[in-house]
Amino acid sequence: MELVLFDLDNTLLSGDSDFEWGQFLIDQGVLDRHFYESENLRFYEDYKAGRLDIHEFLGFALAPLARFPREQLVLWHTQFMERKIRPIIRARGRERLAHHLGQGSLCAIITSTNSFVTAPIARELGVAHLIATEPEIKDGRYTGRPEGMPCFREGKIACLERWLHAQGKHWGAFSASWFYSDSRNDIPLLEKVTHPVAVDPDDTLKQMALERGWEVISFA
């Protein structure tokens, strides 16, 4: 069996679900446009430049979850899926997912974006397994803080290995491992798999992929 991992944002999607969720809440009028839009853009630029402070960002991104009841958040997310996410799902990404699933591979989406935002997207894509940053919940409400290690950069490897352990598996159980990603932030995990694939990569990842002979493809 092969292990096949897909990044989500700007890989399977033509956009960033974390960024789009923030913009959706701004459009709903529940977040202050001037402050949240400027901060959302700032963090997104930091992410693309490879300088994101993940803990500062999560303090910003998870805070709105703590302000509203989960029932309201779920209702908004249904609208978010329809307006923001379904239009940016990449058909070629769906096809590659279907190819690996059809081969009987163990497929998972692995993303730094929190599981509240991404779990419905994984279901929409037909992927049963999601490895993501987990938002903390107490007394049935989100606290606005992450639970455990963020699934980001080297943290993706730690989160993946913890997930594999929970599945009763380990790296040696697989005949091959794949990871599809667009981002320089995912280089630590790309270096660990046997088949790293750069998907519409940023400049830093593209250069490294070309230097190391990694596959470079487009889902756009």
Active site (catalytic) residues: 7, 9
Q: Are 111 and 131 in contact (CB under 8 A)?
A: yes
d(CA 215, CA 32): 42
**From edge to edge, which strands make up the β-sheet containing 2-6?**
141-147, 130-138, 106-114, 2-6, 176-181, 195-199, 215-217
Q: How many residues does the chain have?
A: 220
Q: How many C-beta neighbours within 10 Å does residue 154 have?
A: 12
